[in-house]
Structure 1
Amino acid sequence: MKKGRARGFDYEAALDAAEGVFRLKGFSGAGTTALMAAMKIGAGSYYSAFSSKENLYHLVLDRASERLLTAASMALKEKDGWDALKHLVDIVALQLVIFAPQGCVFSLTGAHQTQASSLKWKAHRAQMHTIVSACESRLKAERRREGLSNQVIALLDEIALEAALGSGRNGLVLVGRRGLSMLYDLGRQQNHTMSNGYGIASPRASQHGNVSKHELQAR
């Protein structure tokens, strides 16, 4: 591999600092001067290494996506599908609180505002969907049902929103486990109803916020 010009600064630390600025101010609000100050580099190093604010932003998004997807893939070590989904919830909860302000870097920074960053966000979600589908594939046949992957993705979005609102890791795990519990119970009810010839089951009401006995086990 051809080596590039040696940098006079800590590249990863600079990207960490840039991510913090983007998270706080968004892509549009993050000025080049503020970015250079946070990264502790001068204009020469900044433009030599990153070329532009947009390129720097894309590097931050790519790195954040790789970080989360690599961690999420660890859930696939679990042989049981529900264990894998629980592990996935735990991993996502941890990743969402590592940086401040906490939450999903794509939504916090306004990745939808430009076509290039929007495409990166869609690619990230597609890869996460692949991981969720792989977890789902490990479910026993009687537990599988159409649309489950989309419901889990929606649950992960809910966790990300809770993170942006200030919930800590434990609270995020609780939201995820409760959601998995509801999906598990709904799946059992649906399968039971269909097996008895009544068609598709309706979601069970939970108006009082009661948590089922599966909340912490989601099994």
Structure 2
Amino acid sequence: MGRPRGFDEEQVVRAARDVFWEKGFDGTSTADLCAATGLNRSSLYNTFRSKEHLFLRSLAAYITVSTNSMVETLDDDRREGLDRIRALLSEIADDAARTREQGPGSGCFVVNTTTSTAAHDPAVARMLDADRDRRLAALRTAVLAGRADGSVHPDRDPEATAWYIVSVISGIRVAGQSGAGRTVLESIARTAIEALRA
């Protein structure tokens, strides 16, 4: 019978996530991961097998939290469809602004990974594709709800509009990383809402 582990695996995943989030997969060394998690190399890789496996666990943990929050906002049937989308974009703009106000941030882990690691790692690409599809489905549902309740213009195609909102979200995140302040980020969100209004 093996000795029980003397550490919290999920806490290790969160610590590794923060390093990967800041430095990216390629920029993170084993020494970085050991320093962040408090584990030696042997314990780290006996538990997580490889740097890539730990990265996938870290990315999955981030996606679960962020996408669950997004879907919860978009599935709130107490609100009109456009109000659900407005609430989501407001949350995104506020998060990007707070990150900027606290100093140079790491942006969005998903956006960062999409533009770097996903291009040459099929496992990462599959995870991000599945997450994107879930986000698009929730956005399509909100757009359809908005068309049904009259808050979203009836000419707005649900699929194209869902992609448009995903693009706006990525744009807000990147603009925040590039130096845009709260006023600009909130203005981007408002402009997107005006483009959807009935």
RMSD of aligned Cα (Å): 2.6
Partner of 1:114: 121
In structure 2, do the counterparts of structure 1 residues 45 and 163 end up closer, same or farther at CA, with 3 Å as the change threshold? farther
Give the Cα–Cα distance (whole angstroms) in 1 for the partners of residues 4 and 86 of structure 2: 43
- 1:103 aligns to 2:107 (yes or no): yes
What is the CA-CA distance between 1:90 and the residue it aligns to? 2.8
Corresponding position: 1:20 with 2:33: no
Question: 2 CA distance for matches of 1:10 and 1:168?
Answer: 38
Match of residue 165, structure 1, among 157, 178, 192: 178
Tell me what 1:10 maps to. 8
Q: CA deviation at 1:68?
A: 1.0
Q: Which amino acid aligns with 2:132?
A: R
Is 1:91 aligned to residue 104 of structure 2? no
Secondary structure of the structure 1 residue equivalent to 2:26: helix
Q: Equivalents in 2 of 1:166, 1:15: separation in Å?
A: 30
Q: Percent identical across equivalent pairs?
A: 25
Q: Which region of structure 1 is more displaced relative to structure 2, 48-57 or 170-179? A: 170-179
> How far off its partner does 1:55 sit?
0.2
Question: Per-residue deviation at 1:169?
Answer: 6.2
Aligned to 1:151: 164
TM-score, normalization: structure 1? 0.72
Over 3 Å counting, the alpha-carbon distance change for 1:124 and 1:82 in structure 2 is same
Under a length normalisation based on structure 2, what TM-score does the superposition of the two structures give? 0.78
- Structure 2 runs not aligned, ≥5 long: none
- Distance in 2 (alpha carbons) for counterparts of 1:5 and 1:124: 36
Write out per-residue CA displacement over residues 135-168 of structure 1, whole angstroms, 9 at most, x where no aligned residue. 1121134523222222212111212212332446
* Structure showing greater relative contact order (alpha-carbon pairs closer than 8 Å, 6 or more residues apart): 2
Distance 2:107 2:179 in 1: 8
Contact between 1:101 and 1:164, CA under 8 Å: does it hold in 2? yes
Provide the residue aligned with 2:193 in structure 1.
Answer: 180
Q: Are the structure 2 counterparts of residues 136 and 10 from structure 1 closer, same or farther at C-alpha, using a change threshold of 3 Å? A: same
Is 1:61 the counterpart of 2:74? The answer is: no
Q: How many residues align?
A: 182
Counterpart amino acid of residue 92 in structure 1: I
CA distance, structure 1, for counterparts of residue 170 and residue 92 of structure 2:
10
Q: Which has the larger helix fraction?
A: 2
Q: Which amino acid aligns with 2:51?
A: K
1:39 aligns with 2:37: yes
Unaligned runs of 5+ in 1: 189-219
Shift of 1:127: 0.9
Could you tell me which residue of structure 2 aligns to residue 200 of structure 1? none
